[in-house]
Amino acid sequence: MSIENNLARYRQKRGLSAIELARKVDVSRQTIYAMETGTYVPNTLVALKLARVLEVRVEDLFRLESAEVPVHTETADLLPSEQEAQPGLPVQLCDVDNRLVAVLPAPAAWSLPPADAVLIEAGKRRRRAKVQLFQEDRQYRRRLLIAGCDPGISVLLRHLQREGVEAVVAYRNSSQSLDLLKQSLIHVAGSHLRDAATGESNLPAVRKQFPRGSVAVISYAIWEEGIVVARGNPKKIRGVEDMARSDVTIANREPGSGSRLMLDNHLQRGGIPPESVNGYREIAPGHLPAAWQVKSGRADCCLATKTSACVFGLDFIPLESERYDLVIGKQNLGHPAVQILLDTLGRTAFRRELEGLGGYDTRIAGDRLI
């Protein structure tokens, strides 16, 4: 049985160099490197010092890896639904009169949105507005504001809530999210912008937009993005080149989104003019809204994440794997809610649930890139 070693990840998360950590725990820099590579196992005293400096538990840094993760299954009564039941669809569970009932949740919001106030006056200058509060407790001052387009962000929100952190998500594409962060209007920006020249995810875009040292970039997951098509792929779509067919209509994403950038790059490499693609000008504001266009029959395909296809029981043709990162202003790294968010990314329960949705690889979750 081997040891799972998270020392390097937590050191980088705290923004410490190997020399700085070595000085704080009274060991050599070489010892830190040896522990991080797994060639040296620390004694109890060193392990306790490391945990104290990094503000984690010893078992967060070093733990025994199980041979395999147990998978638990139950038999449940499936609540009748208009949506066709297919393997891979997410369900919620409830115990009703000692019967386990599985519910296929509606992927679209059919209820009133949560609200703290109503807009009563919108100013035209600087987008200032006046709002009328429903309550006076001002709990919103403790919230975390995240902008991004990840369909699985709801999983992170649930795990944060269990830790006492309430977060609000503004669904924006990657470019919009980074712009909001630059304006200091949000705490965290999600991004999946691939640089066409280097193939690198996010870092070139972040370095171009933010001064050096002003933000931290934290890995969230690697996800699959590709072509979402109807169940059974009735139009026999095999690649982006099929989008130029006269019998195929797409649901496109807005300029500035990672999916739009990916589509445009593929079209350019294939020598396909955008005006030859039916639906190119029809915009869906998000991965799930785009996949919903396919589910409802309004479009034959779209570019979105594998998770978006799984949610609606659609088929998926993978094109690329890319990294989705969280970008955080340095001034907010010490925010208690941000610290809990960073710790949550490394938790097994969070990773397992996110990967269970399909299309996510969370092995790098929580790694600090900048």
* Pair 217, 332 in one domain: yes
The verdict on 60 and 148 lying in the same domain is: no
Task: Yes or no: say if 251 and 228 are a contact pair by the CB < 8 Å rule.
Answer: no
Structure confidence by residue, pLDDT tens digits, 49-93: 999 999 888 888 887 765 555 667 888 888 777 667 777 777 878
Q: Per residue of the chain (370 residues), what is the pLDDT tens digit?
A: 467 788 988 888 888 888 899 999 998 888 888 888 777 788 888 889 999 999 888 888 887 765 555 667 888 888 777 667 777 777 878 777 777 878 776 666 666 777 888 887 776 665 677 888 887 777 777 888 999 999 889 999 999 999 899 889 998 999 999 999 998 899 999 999 998 888 899 999 999 999 999 999 999 999 999 999 999 999 999 999 999 999 999 999 999 999 999 999 999 999 999 999 999 999 999 999 999 999 999 999 999 999 999 889 899 999 999 999 999 999 999 888 999 999 899 888 899 999 988 789 998 899 999 8
The predicted model scores a pTM of: 0.73
One domain, residues 352 and 216:
yes
- Mark whether 54 and 166 lie in a shared domain: no
131 within a domain of the structure (yes/no): no
Residue 244 domain boundaries = 144-370
pLDDT digits (tens, 9 = 90+) for 233-251: 999 999 999 999 999 999 9
104 belongs to a structural domain: no
- Domain end call among 31, 46, 64: 64
39/149 same-domain check: no
Q: Per the structure, how many domains does the chain have?
A: 2
Check which CATH number belongs to the domain holding 23 and give it.
1.10.260.40
Domain end call among 14, 45, 64: 64
Q: What is the CATH number of the domain that holds 265?
A: 3.40.190.290
Residues 176 and 301 in one domain: yes
Same structural domain for residues 261 and 149? yes
Same domain, 166 and 303: yes
